[in-house]
Amino acid sequence: MKPVKIGLLGLGTVGSGTVKVLRRNAEEITRRAGRGIEVAHAAARDLSRPRACDLSGVRLTEDPHAVVNDPEVQVVVELIGGDELARELVMRAIANGKHVVTANKALIAKHGNEIFAAAQRQGVTVAFEAAVAGGIPIIKALREGLAGNRIQWLAGIINGTGNFILTAMRDQGREFADVLAEAQRLGYAEADPTFDVEGIDAAHKLTILASIAFGIPLCFDQVSTEGIAAITPEDVEYAAAFGYRIKHLGIARRTGQGVELRVHPTLIPERRLIANVDGVMNAVLVKGDAVGPTLYYGAGAGSEATASAVVADLVDVVRSLTSDPENRVPHLAFQPDALSDLPILPMAEVETAYYLRLSAEDKPGVLADVARILGELGISIEAMLQKEPPSEQDPATIIMITQRVREALMDQAIARIEALSHTRGQVVRIRLEHLNKD
């Protein structure tokens, strides 16, 4: 059979990696797909830039629309990032009857419902394994490998930049700003790191994972998001004293009231495997009712790691070219007419445990006042540590671990504690998850 011709939008890190993997592993890929896969047409913003791949035999252009409208191209691979131009190009490709492979998490999280509906009408596939956790096949695991399970919850380290920063803060006792600057020098963080350190990138990915796990529409605008810029070396040290590590987690949980969707710094028991995922690596822990907890670990970014997922999607698309569109694996795991509108819980209704750190005058009665406030709201203290002040003029530091409680009650407790005449400044709050079999 003739090879399948693909059009590539973007020849940056992932685009170049995709070309390299397709060429280097061409024989193996053909054996798996049943047909060869060849890059016929590729678009890049600046064709004068040197590329880290062999582009011989590939037609090159600076106009991505030329690739999308090329009648020879059967599959469009979108690797340009962003969401407005990418959306326009993907929708045009679908209208032209072409299959699409993308690594663009923002595109899927924000416009996926529209894109998948258009693809369904046209009978084409949109594949997006590379959009979440780089080379880790977590989309396929959720959509196919765990199809016999009712997914109860998932928790993921799905941004390598944030994980690199928190790992260095823990191992080297350094400040957030110092490690962020190093991450930027090493190329792990962008000049504007907001998407990474504020959790927006992770929220895009969590949106996709939750939709596939629970069979709900994509709902990025309902994810509660909190960044890691306020984490201090002291918090990392105190967490370790209690046997925990701080990770920037994306958490999705099905409850009787709805679905929790949240990204925030989280204390995890140090004995958990996911607590020991360090540096720029990613990991996703998934709890299914039949299989129990399963962990997926690997490189969350990088040229060939992400290209691995792109090429895997291409193989799946090529395998499906001769199949009936109605019998393909659904984009979001569940049949399009079977998606359910489970409510997304506001953060105030989420129940979790907490790490609290506060500064207060070192005098009798302070702890009693704090304990009284927590007790009146039904909040139980699981562990507590008090650090003596350096001098009599300095406030003491009190650190507490609480049992699980609704966030709305914790909000009330913190407001009342901060209003005490003995306390100084704001109470630091970091959520805590045990991530056990519950």
Q: Which residues are catalytic?
A: 205
Phi and psi angles of residue 97, each rounded to the nearest 5 degrees, phi first = 80, 20
Q: How far apart are CA 51 and CA 53, in angstroms?
A: 6
Phi, psi of 352 (to 5 degrees): -155, 170
Q: Rounded to 5 degrees, what angle do the CA atoms 369, 374, 376 make?
A: 95
d(CA 200, CA 227): 8
Cβ atoms of 102 and 90 within 8 Å: the answer is: yes
Helices within 215-275 (DSSP H only): 233-241
Distance CA 236, CA 378 (A): 27
CA atoms within 13 A on the CB side of 163: 25
The SS3 call for residue 127 is strand
Do residues 34 and 315 lie in contact, with contact meaning Cβ atoms separated by under 8 Å? no
Query: Which residues on neighbouring strands pair with residue 283, listed in sequence order?
Result: 157, 297
Distances (CA, A) of 165 to 48, 162, 175, 234, 238: 35, 5, 9, 15, 17
For tokens 């139980």, what's the residue? 380
